Amino acid sequence: MKKSICIAGSGKIGRDAGMFFLTRGHAVHWVSGSEDRIVDLQAWVTKRVHLFLKRNAGGLREISACFGLYEELEDESFDVVFECTNESLKVKRDAFLRLAGRHSPEALLFSASSSILPSAIAQECCGLHVFYPLELAGVAELIVPADLPPVKRDAAITFCKENGLAAIVQSEATAFAVNRMLLPLQNEVFRALCRGVCSADADAASASDLVGVGMCEFARGVGPAVVAAAVENYRSRMSAAESELYGPLSSGLAAFDASLDGWKAAKPLAASERDAMATSLYYLFINTCLRFLERGDLFGADLNCALDRVLGATTTLEEAVSRAGKRTIAAALRAVRLSGGAEYFEPSALLDAE
């Protein structure tokens, strides 16, 4: 069913998500607070619409795209509002305030935030953390606040299904599980960089058949400041002891741009050292995945979906565990833990299960 969708934001995610829904036959109206950004956005969308129509001859023939400033909105009544602004609580709240009265009471309200809980942003707002590029990934974390009316929850799930999105449904207690699964791996990589490991070795050791990209490359691709903002939001909801563990990650991201040349120039590890680091990080990530399953932060099918479509895995978690062996993984993790490794090296109880 065709819907009228408002995309609040003109950046990378707003553009990508808007095009995704536009090419599925919805009427998309982008709004921004900057006239210059709207002009740039319109040129970007026009070019991609032309390419889409050229490649899909005989398919969708009508495209409905509008662009404007918040203050130019008149009598619109959107079916869906999808906020895709900067990762700032103030900016996100302001976007919804500026759209008040511009959507129906039954409208679905979504925020694309990767780290801010939707209940803090707007009333009856769900999180819809989409992964870029949405056309290829086709996955979103749908974060449902506890007080969201059941009819809105069901409508949000249906909306995702109708648009071909694999929705990983989460509560606010388990929100942003896919990104949070990377935290121990990221933290250990930045601890290694601080010890003098070169960035090439850190990337090679942290990439695997479960995570297709190294953690330095990941930070560069997403943007150190973007990752840093999300990490700080995650840490704000941790206990003091757990948050303290991730100090190296926060410090490394804050110094990323200034430190990158030095990390690149550091002396490479010997092959045996690099292999040992890769094995340790691989087991750590496996353990993190298992602990998320153990706590119920993710279910098996959702986890493997995220590994495949978001993190570029070429195997499943079950296959990785089977190849390495539960006892081998658990023994290696215990050795690191006994030598002073962080709490996240504590083996999951699932490694003891046969």
Class of residue 252 by CB neighbours under 10 A (exposed 0-12, middle 13-18, buried 19+): buried
Place of tokens 């400041």: 225
Cα 6 to chain centroid distance, Å, stands at 21
Side-chain half-sphere CA neighbours of 52 within 13 A: 19
Decide if 301 contacts 307 (C-beta within 8 A). Answer: no
Cβ distance 347 to 327 under 8 Å? no
| Order of all β-strands in the sheet with 125-130 | 64-69, 27-32, 4-8, 78-83, 103-111, 125-130, 139-144, 166-171
Residue 212 CB partners (closer than 8 Å, separation 6+):
311, 312, 313, 314
Domain boundary among 158, 175, 192: 175
Q: Any idea what the CATH number is for the domain that residue 168 is in? A: 3.40.50.720
Question: Domain with 290 in it: what CATH number?
Answer: 1.10.1040.50
pLDDT (0 to 100) of residue 51? 87
266 and 210 together in one domain: yes
Residues 6+ apart with CB under 8 A from 170: 127, 141, 142, 143, 144, 176, 177, 297
Can you give the residue range of the structural domain that contains 54? 4-175
Domain count, the chain: 2
Tell me, yes or no, whether 150 and 219 share the same domain: no
Same domain, 246 and 285: yes
Residues 318 and 291 in one domain: yes
Does one domain contain both 189 and 323?
yes
Q: Which amino acid is at 75?
A: D
CA gap 293, 107 in Å, rounded: 33
Rounded Cα–Cα distance for residues 106 and 126 (Å):
13
200 contacts: CB under 8 Å, gap ≥ 6: 264, 268
Question: Which pLDDT score, from 0 to 100, does residue 137 have?
Answer: 97
Q: d(Cα 253, Cα 223) in Å, to the nearest integer?
A: 9
Whether residues 266 and 135 share a domain: the answer is no
Radius of gyration of the chain, Cα coordinates, nearest whole angstrom: 22
Residues 169 and 185 in one domain: no
| 195 and 343 both lie in a single domain | yes
Report pLDDT digits (tens) over 226-252: 999 999 999 999 999 999 999 999 999
Q: How far is Cα 72 from Cα 208, in angstroms, rounded to an integer? A: 49
**pLDDT at position 56, please?**
76
Asked whether residue 336 falls in the same domain as residue 310, the answer is yes
Q: Output the pLDDT for position 58.
A: 60
What does the pLDDT look like over 282-292, one tens digit per residue?
999 999 999 99
Same domain assignment for residues 170 and 187: no
Residues with pLDDT less than 50, the chain = none
Q: Which ranges of the chain would DSSP assign to H, the alpha helix?
A: 12-22, 35-55, 89-98, 134-137, 150-162, 177-180, 183-195, 199-206, 215-222, 224-236, 240-245, 247-254, 256-265, 271-295, 300-309, 317-324, 326-338
Same domain, 217 and 285: yes
